[in-house]
Structure 1
Amino acid sequence: MRKHRTPDQWQALVNQQRDSGLSARQFCEQENIGYASFCNWRKRLSDPSADDSAGSGEASFLDLSSLMDTSQSSGPGWNIVLSLGNGVELRLSQNG
């Protein structure tokens, strides 16, 4: 049966692994922890850019209706770039 751990418990495990001198894989085998889960939590806990709301289950929305100009004569329209991490970007643009 899987054991569900809190972020504080994962942080303690990450600290234990770092102090143990064992590789992450060796530590996970010794402690009977899933290696992929350990790596995911280690990354999540060490990433200072991680948003607190990202793990809360609450979606965040940005109202872009102000970008939708009904007048065609006001300019070229909008250009949106979403940085998704790891160098991946989603670009949205409107031809004016």
Structure 2
Amino acid sequence: MRKHRTPEQWQTLVDQQRDSGLSAPQFCKQENIGYASFCNWRKRLSDPSTDESSGPGEAGFLDLSSLMGTSSSSGPGWNIVLSLGNGVELRLSQNG
């Protein structure tokens, strides 16, 4: 019978494998875990878009509402450049 694990349980297994010094296939065999499932969960858990806490170099959330001044005295418009990697940039501008 298949054992259904929570994301937290998969994270524990991924951490244990990393700390064990064993390769993923060796660890999965030792722990009687499906290798494909382990790889899918490892990828899913390492995906920054699903990670709520961001470390250095990872995607995160930046609240830009302070740049959206409601009064005309809030100064000149704003210009934001978001570098997405591989030479791709997203540029946002406001004419004021």
TM-score range, shorter chain: 0.3 to 0.5
TM-score, scaled to structure 2: 0.46
TM-score, scaled to structure 1: 0.46
